[in-house]
Amino acid sequence: MKEILCYGDSNTWGFTPTTGARYPYAVRWPGALGALLGSGCRITENGVNGRTTVFNDPDFPCRNGKTGLGYALCAGKPFDLVILMLGTNDLKFTDAAGAARGAAELVALLQNANARFPGATVVFPQGAKILLVSPLHIGENAVSEGRFFNRAESLRFAALYKAAAQEARVSFLDAACCAEPSPVEGTHLLPEGHAALARALAEKVREIFPEMGA
């Protein structure tokens, strides 16, 4: 049984475009991923609306991904893999390069998690495996939430995140290669986007764990 933590923002939580309701578990990409991978894995969801990589939101203290990561790891451990998809909300505070640096900081924290979060049970018994996912592109019609919160800046995510993943020697997936946000509001996935992302992630997970099979 592979234990997988999905750590992300509103698209991991399952935010429905325009309504703000939460998609059912089977629709959300973590649930769809679990269904594709079958009984050989167990998915732990941890998505927070508005979550950043390492930046504080002055109105919502719970949105700093670095602050929350230790809680998620210790509450759900042990894990075999963490799928990390954050950065869109960073554009409220920094550019795409700053988001990539924040993601790299979280990757480094994960790689040192056994030492940083000691206990009777280690976080990663077989060593830390990480799948870093660069965020979706932002739609042209998305409401701007800051100087860098726009499509042009989001187009820079993939190259920057791929470089960060290569530097840290972790796995990488560009979410924008398989899914687009809702054309209505430009930031959140529709059900077909969740399904497409889950399929791409399942393929990557099987690459990381060949013993899981097709």
Render pLDDT for 103-113 as a digit per residue (tens, 0 to 9).
Answer: 999 999 999 99
Domains recognised in the chain with CATH numbers: 2-212 (3.40.50.1110)
Contact 33, 205 (CB under 8 A): yes
What are the residues facing 22 on neighbouring strands? 15
DSSP string, 69-104: HHHHHHHH---SEEEEE--GGGGGTS-HHHHHHHHH
Instruction: Provide the pairing of β-strand 171-174 with 41-47.
Output: unpaired
List, for the chain, all residue ranges whose pLDDT scores fall below the cut of 50: none
The residue written with tokens 């950065």 in the block is: 87
> Closest Cα partner for 26 from 41, 43, 3?
43
Q: What is the pLDDT of residues 149-190, one digit of tens each?
A: 999 999 999 999 999 999 999 999 999 999 999 999 999 999
> Closest Cα partner for 212 from 3, 44, 26?
3
